């Protein structure tokens, strides 16, 4: 037993207790039969997995992937310019960073609820528009895909901005100057120098947004009004109302698999590979 082994011990115990053991439990549950009042019973069965092939569930899974992809793209489109702006803000840099992090000062739940007050029929947006006589009847801003997307992008934007900011901040300013000097206009410099060099940050940002979006539960539940079911809601449902723990466990494992696949794909993309 050398020192190295002892130093790694806490990490190993932690991984075993809080990652492998729960994962094992979920794995075991997924191949057992549901109990009448929740829980699991014998015998072993693959039924939960075969049920997942049902088009209804595949549609939910597909819809989750689609929403997560859309959120990631929107976060990238909004987050990259913001990160670039902050990286070049000079002495104001820290102020802008603090503002990006400001939402984390309150709970995620409270912030999502706040959107309810902004978007609902008698909420801020509709009231103001009605007072200004822009609209007569309230706009349906809440309980649809748009609201869920808005909530997801709002919640996860900082997770995109921070790694991209870190990548851009490390970039040597003279590289952009060199590109301009060699005849590149700003857009060309962005495409040929800044984007390729911040690719690892962008890939990290995409992963940090895509994976939590894929498994998100609270945002679609509150802002989608139960109509916009994503896989997170499906899982939650199985463990509470439906009391079908094996099916919930199977769905969880499939979600993990999809996330892992997405992670693998992003890590293998040419943009990131070039930098590794």
Partner 1 sequence: MEAVLELRAIAKEYTGHRAVDNVSLRLERGGFYCLLGPSGCGKTTTLRMVGGFEQPTSGEILLGGATVTGLRPWQRDVSTVFQNYALFPHLTALRNIEFGLRERRAADAREKALRALELVQLSAKRDSLPAQLSGGEKQRVALARSLVLEPQLLLLDEPLAALDPRLRKAMRAELKAMQRKTGITFLFVTHDQEEALSMSDKMAVMNKGRIEQFGTPEEVYLRPSTAFVAGFLGAINWFGKAGVRPEATRVAYTAPEGLPARRGTVESRLFLGNCIHVHARLAEGGQAICEVARDERQFTEGEEVWLHWHPADELRFE
**Can you tell me the distance from the alpha carbon of 197 to that of 189, in angstroms, rounded to the nearest whole number?**
11
- Sign of torsion over alpha carbons 184, 186, 191, 194: positive
Write out the binding residues for partner 1, residues 113-172 only, by CB under 8 A.
172
Rg (CA), the chain: 23
CB 245 within 8 A of CB 39: yes
Write out the binding residues for partner 1, residues 171-210 only, by CB under 8 A.
172, 174-175, 177-185, 188, 192-193, 196-197
**Can you tell me the distance from the alpha carbon of 185 to that of 193, in angstroms, rounded to the nearest whole number?**
11
CB of 109 or CB of 175, closer to partner 1: 175
CB of 54 or CB of 274, closer to partner 1: 274
CB of 170 to partner 1, least distance (A): 11
**Can you tell me the distance from the alpha carbon of 203 to that of 84, in angstroms, rounded to the nearest whole number?**
15
Task: Give yes or no for residue 269 binding partner 1 (CB under 8 A).
Answer: no
CB of 238 to partner 1, least distance (A): 47
Residue 146: which residues within 8 A CB-CB, separation 6 or more? none
- Applying CB under 8 A, the site for partner 1 has a residue count of 19
CB of 36 or CB of 172, closer to partner 1: 172
CB 126 within 8 A of CB 120: yes
CB of 207 to partner 1, least distance (A): 20
CB of 175 to partner 1, least distance (A): 5
CB 230 within 8 A of CB 32: no
Q: HSE, CB side, 13 Å, CA atoms: give it for residue 22.
A: 7
CB of 95 or CB of 275, closer to partner 1: 275
CB of 112 to partner 1, least distance (A): 39
CB of 275 to partner 1, least distance (A): 7
Binding site for partner 1 (CB under 8 A): 172, 174-175, 177-185, 188, 192-193, 196-197, 274-275
């Amino acid at each position: 037993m050398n020192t190295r082994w002892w130093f790694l011990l806490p990490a190993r115990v932690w991984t075993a207790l809080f990652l492998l053991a729960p994962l094992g439990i979920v794995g075991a549950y997924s191949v057992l039969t549901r109990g009448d009042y929740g829980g699991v019973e014998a015998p072993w069965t693959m039924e939960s997995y075969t049920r997942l092939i049902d088009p209804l569930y595949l549609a939910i899974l597909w819809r989750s992937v689609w929403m997560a992809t859309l959120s990631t793209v929107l976060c990238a489109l909004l987050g990259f310019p913001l990160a670039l702006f902050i990286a070049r803000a000079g002495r104001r840099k820290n102020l802008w960073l603090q503002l990006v992090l400001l939402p984390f000062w309150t709970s995620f739940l409270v912030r999502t609820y706040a959107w309810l007050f902004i978007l609902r029929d008698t909420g801020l947006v509709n009231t103001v528009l009605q007072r200004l006589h822009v609209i007569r009847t309230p706009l349906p801003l809440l309980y649809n895909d748009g609201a869920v997307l808005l909530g997801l992008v709002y919640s996860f934007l900082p997770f995109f901005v921070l790694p991209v900011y870190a990548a851009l901040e490390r970039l040597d300013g003279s590289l952009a100057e060199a590109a301009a000097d060699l005849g590149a206009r700003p857009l060309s410099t962005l495409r040929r120098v800044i984007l390729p060099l911040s690719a690892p940050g962008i890939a990290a940002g995409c992963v940090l947004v895509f994976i939590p979006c894929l498994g998100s539960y609270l945002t679609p539940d509150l802002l989608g009004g139960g109509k916009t079911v994503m896989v997170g809601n499906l899982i939650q449902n199985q463990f509470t109302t439906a009391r079908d723990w094996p099916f919930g466990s199977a769905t969880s494992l499939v979600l993990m698999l999809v996330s892992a696949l997405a992670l693998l794909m992003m890590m293998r993309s040419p943009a990131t590979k070039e930098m590794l």
